Amino acid sequence: MQYFEGFIELEPYPKERPRYSQKTRKPYTPFKTKKYELDLSIKLKVMFGENLPMEGAISAQIVFYLTKPKSISKKRKYPMVKPDLDNLCKSFFDACEKGGILVNDSRIVDQIIKKRYAEGMNPGIEFIIQTLP
């Protein structure tokens, strides 16, 4: 069983919709999304070295810690605003593929995903990714 656990200090960024070039009429990924996925994949590679990609069924537990805007009331505990949780997941799993942790995100069969404010800590991503028996 393969097991990866960690915390990456990097403000979570959602996967943006593809844009279309007016010249070539082909879709492309926006620059901010590409940069975020590249930065995250490099941090994952440094964290886990040159381990082989995870094979088989995979379980993922992820908590995205977002910066709490000053305009938000201190009473509000949960970030019920954009970015959407599914788009945060897409960018994280795409970075895992680029970082060599996953062969393909279609192998994830079990996931627990949370979005919280980073109160008393730096924004980032806490995760546990493991193969299932």
How confident is the model over 28-79, as pLDDT tens digits? Answer: 888 999 999 999 999 988 888 766 788 899 999 999 999 998 888 888 889 9
Q: Which residues pair with 131 in a beta bridge?
A: 58
Instruction: Report CA torsion sign: 32, 37, 38, 43.
Output: positive
pLDDT tens digits, one per residue of 65-92 = 999 988 888 888 899 888 999 999 999 9
**Which pLDDT does position 50 carry in this prediction?**
67
pLDDT tens digits, one per residue of 98-108 = 888 888 889 99
Tell me the domains of the chain and their CATH numbers: 3-131 (3.30.1330.70)
Torsions phi, psi of 65, nearest 5?
-100, 115
pTM of the model: 0.89
DSSP string, 43-102: HHHHHHTTPPPB-S-EEEEEEEEEPPPTTS-TT--S--SSSPHHHHHHHHHHHHHHTTSB
